[in-house]
Structure 1
Amino acid sequence: MFQRICRKILLFIPIMAGLCSLLAMQPVKPRFRVLVLAENGGHHIAYSKAARVWLDKLAADSSFAIDYINNTDRIDSVFLAQYQLFIQLDYPPYAWKPAAVNAFEQYISEGKGGWIGFHHATLLGEFDGYGLWPWFYEFMGKIRFKDYIADFAAGDVHVEDAAHPVLKGVPAVFNVKTEEWYTYDRSPRSSVHVLASVDENSYQPASEKKMGDHPVIWTNTAYKARNVYIFMGHSPDLFENNAYLTLFRNAIFWAAGKP
């Protein structure tokens, strides 16, 4: 009797091992899906390439999926419905296809997913023969691009709302060493919730291109989607800045609604 039982157990072990192997081969469902819209050329390409390396590693380590596109041709409501987070990585708010414009406005207004915009997302105005996108103008706090520090400058960013989840673990003041700080025709403060601003007196080298009140991280609480704009996004050396990486990581999980 005992020998028969042992033989059955021995026969059963390979079957169980095979089942375990098959289960291990099954793809793990990602926690959430992220769409990244990034330019495929221009003088921000080094930043975008560094961002992709960092994002791919974070996605692998944190079990989320990430897809990249470099134009808006594929974007419509059906396409966006696949994603819980839209990252506008150094991509301007103009030259979007009409279907993409309509789908994005609905996505944000109805809270169908979260959004993080970087740098070029506030390039609002008339550029390359394209006019102002009125909805996006409202979304970004009713600002128009005015000027920028073309020769770059380091600057100190001061956190204003340390309690916000996007800024958890971010130092009260952190330095960004290479940035082309934009100026706008007005501060967005009256239309958005400011999370951090840059101290223009900290610029190295000093610059006369100043706004006075100069927010650089904010969220617009008038929209259902969790959203955050982060101005800093020009130089790949940002991915050597621990404060920036903490900010970026926090923004992803907060905007996606995934703690």
Structure 2
Amino acid sequence: MRLRSALSALALLVLAAPAWASMPTVLVFSKTTGWRHDSIPTAVAAVQRVAMQESLYSNATEDASVFTAEGLRGYRAVIFVNTTGDVLDAAQQQALHDFIEGGGGYMGVHSAADTEYDWPWYGELVGAYFLSHPPGLQTTRVQFTQDGIAANGREWKVTDEIYNYRSNPRAQVQVLATVTEADYEGGTMGGDHPISWCHAQGKGRAWYTGLGHDVPLYSDPTFLRHLARGLRYVSSRADDC
């Protein structure tokens, strides 16, 4: 009788469990040791909303101690949102390395490329390091390589802080979007200026966008579709990045 009651109680707990309890999870990480973007709270909240819409439960933290083999167990992907500087110690770096190389996903937003300059493997993961940006916010046309993101075709006009990178990553990655340097002042990469890309990293996946400095961007439907595409890829819910 007691066993039957216990089983009934367990069944009720299962039925009462929130829907996200069975969802795959992603870790949203926004620690900074350098420049800190005012957009971080808005960016984290937006990424978490997009994750929920994609049936991905998310945990957000700036506590790097989660980067252990045990701490990352159960996650599908980690998302670096406007991180800067040296955010992981040697043991935490090893945990992230093993997580990605073993099949996990990495997604970097904007200043994720302004992170971990002294760690060559992270440079491979993010695809290219930040070099500079023109002063202030400027407007440019973004050319996407895939349909379904821009409202009209594959071109989108955006106002944001437009990063220049130390190298052009095209030879090592699949470029997903470029910006048009002729539209603004201060570009240093010429006629081929990637701003978003993806690639395999060991058994894992990596996706990056250089956009995401300005707060209003996180309520722009096109940018949110862009982030959703990245989330689906790094969480292995889609093979097309």
Contact 1:116 1:227 in 2 (8 A): yes
1:193 matches 2:193: no
Q: C-alpha separation between the residues in 2 aligned to 1:138 and 1:227?
A: 10
For the structure 1 residues 23 and 155, does the alpha-carbon distance in structure 2 shift closer, same or farther, using more than 3 Å as the test? Answer: same
Deviations 1:5-29 (A, max 9, x none): xxxxxxxxxxxxx999766423333
Return the letter of the residue paired with 2:69. S
For the structure 1 residues 109 and 22, does the alpha-carbon distance in structure 2 shift closer, same or farther, using more than 3 Å as the test? Answer: closer
SS of residue paired to 1:197: strand
Match of 1:129 in 2: none
SS of residue paired to 1:115: strand
Q: C-alpha separation between the residues in 2 aligned to 1:23 and 1:124?
A: 41
Contact 2:110 2:210 in 1 (8 A): yes
Q: C-alpha separation between the residues in 1 aligned to 2:110 and 2:123?
A: 15
Shift of the alpha carbon at 1:240? 2.7
Contact 2:84 2:116 in 1 (8 A): no
Q: C-alpha separation between the residues in 2 aligned to 1:20 and 1:223?
A: 41
1:210 matches 2:188: yes
1:147 matches 2:132: yes
For the structure 1 residues 211 and 58, does the alpha-carbon distance in structure 2 shift closer, same or farther, using more than 3 Å as the test? Answer: closer
Shift of the alpha carbon at 1:217? 0.5
Match of 2:109 in 1: 118
Q: C-alpha separation between the residues in 2 aligned to 1:81 and 1:125?
A: 23
1:91 matches 2:83: yes
For the structure 1 residues 38 and 158, does the alpha-carbon distance in structure 2 shift closer, same or farther, using more than 3 Å as the test? Answer: same
Contact 1:140 1:188 in 2 (8 A): no
Match of 1:137 in 2: 123
The correspondence for 1:182, drawn from 154, 163, 182, is: 163
Return the letter of the residue paired with 1:147. S
Gaps of 5+ in 2: 1-8
For the structure 1 residues 209 and 27, does the alpha-carbon distance in structure 2 shift closer, same or farther, using more than 3 Å as the test? Answer: closer
For the structure 1 residues 52 and 137, does the alpha-carbon distance in structure 2 shift closer, same or farther, using more than 3 Å as the test? Answer: closer
Match of 1:76 in 2: 68
Contact 2:83 2:112 in 1 (8 A): yes
Match of 2:37 in 1: 44
* TM-score normalised by length of structure 1: 0.76
Match of 1:253 in 2: 232
Aligned residues: CA RMSD: 2.7
Contact 1:178 1:237 in 2 (8 A): no
Shift of the alpha carbon at 1:199? 0.7
Shift of the alpha carbon at 1:59? 4.4
* TM-score normalised by length of structure 2: 0.81
Match of 1:103 in 2: 95
Structure with greater Cα Rg: 1
Contact 1:156 1:174 in 2 (8 A): yes
Contact 2:32 2:87 in 1 (8 A): no
Deviations 1:64-99 (A, max 9, x none): 321111142231111111211111111136241212
For the structure 1 residues 201 and 100, does the alpha-carbon distance in structure 2 shift closer, same or farther, using more than 3 Å as the test? Answer: same
For the structure 1 residues 30 and 54, does the alpha-carbon distance in structure 2 shift closer, same or farther, using more than 3 Å as the test? Answer: farther
Q: C-alpha separation between the residues in 1 aligned to 2:229 and 2:140?
A: 22
SS of residue paired to 1:96: coil
Q: Matched residues, percent identical?
A: 24
Return the letter of the residue paired with 1:174. W
